[in-house]
Each structure stands twice: as C-alpha cells, then as structure tokens.
Amino acid sequence: MASWYASRNRGFSLQELTIAAAIVGLLVAATAIGVRRYRENAEDVRMQAELTSIYKAMEAFRSVNGRYPRSYAELRPFIAIPNFDQRYEINPNP
Amino acid sequence: MKRVWWGIGIVLILAGVALGVIAGHQKPPADPFLAGEALVQFESTVTEERAAHLIAQAGATIKERIAPQGIYVVAFSKSIAPQQIIARFQQMPEVAYAEPNGLYEPMGGGGWWTASEAWAEETTGTLGAGAKVTVAVIDTAIDATHPALAGKVTTGYNVLDNTTNTQSSGIGQDWHGTASSGRVLDGAGDANVEIMPIQVFGTSGGATWSTIIKAINYAVDNGAQVINMSLGGMVGSPLVQQAIDRAVEKGIVVVASAGNHGTQQPAYPASMNGVISVAATNEGGRKASFSAYGSTVDISAPGDTMRLLSHGGYRTARGTSFSAPFITGMLAMLKSAFPFLTAAQCEEVMKARANDINAKNPDLQGKLGAGFLNLLDVKAWMAEIRAGAFTFPWGAAPVPPIQPPPVLAPAPQPWLVRGRGHDGNYVVTPGGELVRE
C-alpha cells in the first residue's frame, strides 16, 4: 500500500524531464525557423517593390535629363526610399 | 542508512562521468608542424643573394634550397613560434609564399587478420609484356628482398639521407611502404610494373612538406609515370601543390589516400588539384568506418582490415594507405597496356569503369567518388586486355575522346537596378521587368 502511494507521488524522472526538454527544444527550433522564413519572405517582397520604385524613379530622371542618373545623389530627389543607396545598385549604362 | 545509499549513488555517478570523460578523451593530434623550420618561396625576380639577405633579415638561416620551385627551407630557434617568423616573411613584398614546414603522416595502421587474394598464380599472363610503367611509392623504406616484391623494385631514393638506400629495417612503421607496394602490385595484376621506392618516413613520425616536395620532384625527374602517396594531413600546402602541379603537367598520374579520420573534412595532398583521392571500403564496397569521404573523394577501393605484405613477411592492417595504392596499381596497368593514354584519360577510364556503391552506402550518395574497384575488376580488366576487348568510355576503339565544345555562359542580363534577396539577386531590366538573376 505504501509503495503504491509512493509511486503515485514520485516526481518526474530524469528521463521524463529530458524527453520533455527535447520536445520543447524541437518546438522552439521549428517556430524559430518558421518565423525566420516568414521574415525573409516579407523582406524579399519589400525589396522587389522597392526595386520597381527605384526603376520608376530612374525612368522619371531620364524623362527630365535625357539620360539615366550617374550617381545616387542625382537620383535622390526622385525617390522616397530611405538608405536606398546602401541597399541597391544602379546602372547608368544598361 | 538512506543517506549512505545516496552517497554511494552520487559517487557512482561521478565515477561514471569521470570514466566517460577519460574514455572519450582522444589523444591530442601531434603538432602538424616542425618546430624551428619554415618554407619560403620568393617572387621569380628575386636573386639568390637577395633571398639570402631577406632570410637573414627575418632572423632565419638557410637550411636548404629546393631547386625546381626555388623553395627555401629556413631554420630558426625552436623557441620562436613558426608563425612569428612566417609573419615576418609574409610582410615582405618579395615573398610569394611563406608557410610552416608541415608534417604529413602515413595513412595506415594496425588491424586484425583476414585473408586476401594474391597474384602469384597470375604472373604467367601476357600483360607482363606490355610497356614498363614505373610507379613511385612515396612512403617508408621497403623490403625489396620480399619474395612478392623481388625483381619488381627499381632503384629508389631516400630523401632523408640523400642516398639510394631504401631497404627497410622492420622497426616501428618500417613495414608501411612494403604494404603499400604490395597493394600497387595487387592493383596492377600481372602488368609490367616496377616500384620506385622513395623514402620520406623514418621508423616513426611524420614527413615534412619539404621532404615530400623533394620526393615528388625526384619521381618527376626520374621517369615515374604514376605517383602513390599513402600519406597526408589535415592542412594543405600551396608549395606541395606546386610540386604536384609540376608532376601533372608532365602527364604523371598522382594518387593519394583520402584519410582515416572518418569525416568529410578534406585531407591533403589527396584533396589537392590534380590528385586522385581514394577512400577505403571493405571487400564488398561498404565504406570502412575510419575512411574519409565527401566531395573531394574520386574513387574507393578495399582498404579495411586485410592481409598485406610487411617487412620479411605479412601482416594485417587497414587504412586508406592501402586503398590508394590499389587504384595506383590499376592505373599503372592501364598505362602499361595503353601507353598512349594521358593521365586525364586514365582517370576517365577508371571512373567510367567503377562500380556503383551508392546502394551499399545509402547515407553517402556520391560521397565515395565515382564508385568502387576491387580485385574482381583487376581480373576483368586483365582478361579484356588479353582478349583485345577492353572498352573505353568513349567507345571500343582506344582513341582519345572528342572534346565537347565549351559551354558558353549566358549573356548577362542588361539591368538598371539591382538588389539582393534572400533567395538570390533581383534586377529590373531597362524594359521594367523584374528578373531573378
């Protein structure tokens, strides 16, 4: 009777705790990977939209000046994307 | 009483952990560099006088100059870290390369007894009449008086004492070269092959890179057509690569052991350009547990525990040390039967004739090179050569393959704006189209 009582009230064994910790670890890792993929995807979508905006700005510059901009400085008045000069390349002679 | 049991339990656990730590503790790898020495190569415009001046300026003395490559072996106090002296050389604009005098080890060790086949009864074939092929075995000294090697060993070179004395003593690792040479003959069947022993290892320890460079140079300058190196280490050397390049330029086939570290980490010289890297399997084609594998491996051959020649007799051992010379022997057989084949063509034939072992190594798809060759293939090749029916990957006729036209890279897309994405770069074309590069 005493042993039945004891077995009902024992804590968790090391094995049980290890398995639980491993499951929690796997879940955390899977979630982290999912979040990262989602974020990267969102960044790529934004990057593609910004590329199109910069393209439009370059075409706008050309309609005014008859040529593509030779520097980021020339293009800056035509564009509202912050730090675009650090993230995108432009080619004045395509 | 309960407390006593707890105490005993804790002590047992601690003892178990301690034992585990001791058992899992690997012997630290030997220092891969020789203390007190470095290798320096100057730009080709630097005269020997200027080189001597620069070496003195760096605080070192000239120990030796290796002629074809103009490599200086320089010596300095062992109390100075080689990196310190090397850094001094590297700061000099006239220095092309400065590196430690690294060490490579033999790639084979002990094992236990199994039987293997031998070619004693095959020596009456007609292959022996083919062109003579000299195979340089860069290794320990060898037992040229061994009945299995007698008459098949030509004069070699002992790099360590600059003599032609390459007869082994049987002390320590002084059996390794005999075993490698025996494996060359296993792979060569009864082809007209002779062993040129080039000794770089003593009875213990590794061989320095400068020793190995000199050994390769000797093989190249003395008529070897195939070079076997059952040796290596985990560090690459541009200067050893230069010696290998010189061999390859002269049409010599260079073969080396992929390594016995059991991982995908590349070992050298096996992973250097122009070298055929050989992994080890058992007789059936399953990767041996110790064998290295991965993208730099070109082919596999038996190298797990087997009966090998040894100083004055036989022994069992295992290692990629004994898979590489087997392939070396098969390549030598090709060279002997078809002397017009280039080194690249020999390699092409070897790879095309390799047996697929992916099914036997399901976790290592494509990581054991083109496949596997063993004694059955040696027999098959000999039979086909004798019958005039040996097939080449480019057809039955033994003619060089027609080179396919080079594949031209697609013209770069004209672009106006470019950005970096997580899955590649994107551009917008002058027409306003968004394209992934």
More confident residue, A62 or B162: B162
Test B422 with A44 for CB contact under 8 angstroms. Answer: yes
Distance of CA B410 to the CA centre of its chain: 37
Residue B285: predicted pLDDT: 92
Residue B436: predicted pLDDT: 84
CATH code (residue B243): 3.40.50.200
The answer on B95 and B193 residing in a single domain is: no
More confident residue, A52 or B221: B221
The answer on B135 and B90 residing in a single domain is: no
Please give the angle made by the CA atoms of B274, B292 and B243, to the nearest 5 degrees.
Answer: 25
- Cβ contacts (< 8 Å) between A90 and chain B: which residues? 416-418
Task: Please tell me which of the candidates A47, A58, A94 has its beta carbon nearest to residue B419.
Answer: A47
Determine contact, residues B309/B144, Cβ cutoff 8 Å.
no
Q: Rounded to whole angstroms, how far apart are CA atoms B220 and B244?
A: 9
Q: CA of B194 to nearest chain A CA: how many angstroms apart?
A: 59
The answer on B418 and B375 residing in a single domain is: no
Q: Rounded to whole angstroms, how far apart are CA atoms B400 and B395?
A: 10
B33 is written with which tokens?
A: 């560099």
Question: Cα dihedral sign for B193, B115, B283, B267?
Answer: negative
Test A90 with B434 for CB contact under 8 angstroms. Answer: no
The answer on B325 and B273 residing in a single domain is: yes
Q: Rounded to whole angstroms, how far apart are CA atoms B260 and B305?
A: 13
Interface of B with A in 245-264 (CB under 8 A): none
Test A88 with B418 for CB contact under 8 angstroms. Answer: yes
Please give the angle made by the CA atoms of B429, B435 and B436, to the nearest 5 degrees.
Answer: 135
Q: Looking up tokens 């396919």, which residue turns up?
A: B404
Q: Rounded to whole angstroms, how far apart are CA atoms B40 and B63?
A: 11
Test A44 with B429 for CB contact under 8 angstroms. Answer: no
The answer on B252 and B152 residing in a single domain is: yes
Domain count along chain B = 3
CATH code (residue B60): 3.30.70.80
Q: Rounded to whole angstroms, how far apart are CA atoms B207 and B198?
A: 12
Reported pTM? 0.69
Which of B156, B164, B160, B165 has the alpha carbon at shortest distance from B194? Answer: B156
Return the domain boundaries, chain A. Answer: 36-94
Task: Report the C-alpha dihedral over residues B5, B10, B12, B17, rounded to 10 degrees.
Answer: 170
Question: Cα dihedral sign for A66, A67, A70, A76?
Answer: positive
**3-class DSSP state for residue B36?**
strand
Test B416 with A58 for CB contact under 8 angstroms. Answer: yes
- Cβ contacts (< 8 Å) between A48 and chain B: which residues? 419, 421, 426, 434
What are the residues facing B99 on neighbouring strands? B39
Residue B420's CB is within 10 A of a number of other CB atoms, namely 13
Q: Show which of B102, B123, B149 is a domain's final residue.
A: B102
- Cβ contacts (< 8 Å) between B419 and chain A: which residues? 47-48, 50-51, 87-89
B141 is written with which tokens?
A: 């000294």
Q: Best interface-test mutation with A: which of B2, B413, B417 has the largest number of A CBs within 10 A?
A: B417
Q: CA of B416 to nearest chain A CA: how many angstroms apart?
A: 5
Q: Rounded to whole angstroms, how far apart are CA atoms B417 and B429?
A: 7
Q: What is the pLDDT along chain B (437 residues), one digit of tens a residue?
A: 455 455 544 444 444 434 333 333 333 344 588 999 999 999 999 999 999 999 999 999 999 999 999 999 999 999 998 889 999 999 999 999 999 999 999 987 653 333 233 333 333 344 655 789 999 999 999 999 999 998 899 999 999 999 999 999 989 889 999 999 999 999 998 889 999 999 999 998 899 999 999 999 999 999 999 999 999 999 999 999 999 999 999 999 999 999 999 999 999 999 999 999 999 999 889 999 999 999 999 999 999 888 889 999 988 889 999 999 999 999 999 999 888 888 888 999 999 999 999 999 999 999 999 999 998 999 899 888 888 888 888 765 444 433 444 455 555 678 888 888 887 888 888 888 888 88
Task: Please tell me which of the candidates B416, B426, B432 has its beta carbon nearest to residue A47.
Answer: B426
In a domain? residue B380 = yes
Q: Looking up tokens 């008086």, which residue turns up?
A: B145
Task: Please tell me which of the candidates A40, A52, A91 has its beta carbon nearest to residue B422.
Answer: A40
Q: Rounded to whole angstroms, how far apart are CA atoms B325 and B142?
A: 14
The answer on B48 and B165 residing in a single domain is: no
The whole-number average pLDDT for the span A77-92 is: 82
The answer on B429 and B304 residing in a single domain is: no
The answer on B427 and B373 residing in a single domain is: no
Test B415 with A54 for CB contact under 8 angstroms. Answer: no
Report the relative pairing of strands B71-75 and B61-66 from DSSP bridges: antiparallel
Q: For B221-247, give the DSSP string.
A: HTT-SEEEE-EEBSS--HHHHHHHHHH
The answer on B152 and B282 residing in a single domain is: yes
The answer on B136 and B97 residing in a single domain is: no
* ipTM exceeding 0.95, yes/no: no
How far, CA to CA in Å, does B275 sit from each of A37, A47, B137, B210?
41, 45, 14, 18
Test B417 with A68 for CB contact under 8 angstroms. Answer: no
Question: How many contiguous H segments (helices) and E segments (strands) does chain B have?
Answer: 9, 19
Residue B29: predicted pLDDT: 45
State residue B193 phi and psi, 5-degree precision.
Answer: -120, 140
Residue A6: predicted pLDDT: 52
Interface of B with A in 378-437 (CB under 8 A): 414-423, 426-430, 432, 434
Test A47 with B420 for CB contact under 8 angstroms. Answer: yes
Tabulate helix, strand, coil % of chain A (nearest 5): 75, 5, 20
The answer on B309 and B228 residing in a single domain is: yes
What are the residues facing B420 on neighbouring strands? B425
- Residue B431's domain comprises 409-437
- Cβ contacts (< 8 Å) between B420 and chain A: which residues? 47, 87
Q: CA of B283 to nearest chain A CA: how many angstroms apart?
A: 40
What are the residues facing B76 on neighbouring strands? none
Q: Show which of B102, B132, B160 is a domain's final residue.
A: B102
Please give the angle made by the CA atoms of B188, B191 and B197, to the nearest 5 degrees.
Answer: 60
The answer on B374 and B344 residing in a single domain is: yes
Helix (H) or strand (E) holding B98: strand B95-106
Q: Rounded to whole angstroms, how far apart are CA atoms B275 and A33?
A: 40
In a domain? residue B261 = yes
